[in-house]
Amino acid sequence: MAAFIARGLSAAGVALPPPGVPRFTDVPAGSANDVDVRRLAAAGIVHGGPEGLPATSYGPELRVRRDQVASFVVRLLTHLTTGD
């Protein structure tokens, strides 16, 4: 989901902040979605700690629920309208 959102924003010409650190402990450095996840985290669009995992975990192996997609969309729209 993070890659989908980040690539869609990029295709629309929307700038995201550079990938922040630290990385989530369960998103390996250099993995296919590492940069997208870190850029969205730096923009405040994605957060760690889904399904009761620690805040330092992203949960890339978990299914994305509808309520989580709604949260992504709200944070995305907030980022687009305020730059935060």
Q: Whole-number mean pLDDT of the chain?
A: 88
**Tokens coding 79:** 């980022």
pTM beyond 0.85: the answer is: no
Q: Per residue in 8-40, pLDDT tens?
A: 888 888 888 999 887 899 999 999 999 999 999
- Indicate the residue type of 55: A
Nearest to 5 by CA among 37, 30, 51, 53: 37
Parent domain of 62: 2-82
Average pLDDT over residues 31-54: 92
pLDDT over threshold 90, residue 81: no
Domains in the chain: how many in total?
1
